[in-house]
Amino acid sequence: METPWKRREFLRAGTAFGAAWAAKPGGLSPSTARVGPAGSFKAVASGNGIRATEKAMALLKQGADPLDAVIAGVNIVEDDPEDMSVGYGGLPNEDGEVELDASVMHGPTHASGAVAALKSIKNPSRVAQLVMERTNHCLLVGEGALKFALAYGFAKENLLTDRAREAWLRWKENLSDRDNWLPPASKNLPPELQAYVQTYGTINCLALDEKGNLAGVTTTSGLSWKRPGRVGDSPIIGAGLYVDNDIGAAGSTGFGEANIMNVASFQVVMLMGQGMSPEQACLEALKRVADKAKRHPRLTGLDGRPNFGMSYYALNKKGEFGSATFVGPSRFAAHDGAKNAMRECAYLYKAKS
């Protein structure tokens, strides 16, 4: 049995080396645009990840480890105050504090790291990588995650932008007409500040290098207006992200609680291991989540559909990739090594007219 020292050195060395079904109900037919030649570079991401796939591909072609590539890709979105679902500028919890979650998984070593309910650090994906590389743990949360990040030189920052603060205040002011929070007299607000319901958003990014090695990252500011300390699926290995270097990688965006209850990213990878294409595996996982949701009175609408959103993204070892979502049309980002483009997701249900 190897000692903890050997295990740490192995993980560190591994990362350092990398761096020097048929028709779908209401959905789309298989697309050859989602398949690439075996052994070629690939980068796949959620719909807000077109810049992430571009960056990840550039680094892959320079010889970077796929984990370093996807983390650098999502850092662009984490740093962008205009994306209100990830990192700096993310929508806060009910107290007006931004809490971030992230996980990473490295195919060649089958190592993972994650942080949850992390405040004041805008790149949780990088902290999650350090948890993987520099500890014997898989997940650090809250104050412990913050202290760990500070110990490794991350700077505390105020993550609540004026735009996100305004959205939070509008939510607070419209919760009730029996409290002392009053909305402004003017109603001329941008659309994103007029939505008072809870929203969720995340970025997932997966990559394959020319050696057939896989990696993935999922990072988010989580459910808006959540209870402080709430943790979704993004930092949970098997739920928000899973990588098996012998099979493929998968990640998710959407309502985290439903995803945790189904460990669906793990399911997607296992279904690919049974011979399904990435798109078929994503659709099958969605069907299973929808079926389980029917048993939960708070998770199903009057129409029998899940009353929440969910999307999966998958990439297998052969370089095939795909995505599926509950309600279409919807798109995801993918770079096939030659072209970076938004592509159509398969889906279970058509949007209501």
Among all residues, which ones are annotated catalytic? 202
Length of the chain: 353
CB 251 within 8 A of CB 157: no
User: Which residues lie below 8 Å from residue 211, measured CB to CB, with a gap of 6+?
Assistant: none
CB atoms within 10 A of CB 230: 17
Tokens, residue 321: 């990739």
Nearest in space to 322 (alpha carbons), one of 108, 42, 73: 42
CA gap 347, 279 in Å, rounded: 10
Amino acid, res. 34: R
Which residues partner with 214 through β-bridges?
Answer: 208
**E runs forming strands in the chain:** 42-45, 100-106, 111-118, 139-141, 202-208, 214-220, 241-244, 248-254, 310-316, 321-328, 331-335, 340-344, 346-350
Best CA proximity match to 353, nearest among 26, 28, 46: 26
Task: Identify the CA nearest to 245 among candidates 206, 283, 295.
Answer: 206
Question: C-alpha distances in angstroms, 323 versus 35, 65, 249, 288?
Answer: 12, 23, 12, 15
Backbone φ and ψ of 83, nearest 5°: -90, 110
Whole-angstrom distance, CA of residue 45 vs CA of residue 342? 10
How do the residues of the chain divide into helix, strand and coil, expressed in percent and rounded to 5? 30, 25, 45
- 314 close to 279: Cβ distance less than 8 angstroms: yes
Contact 161, 85 (CB under 8 A): no
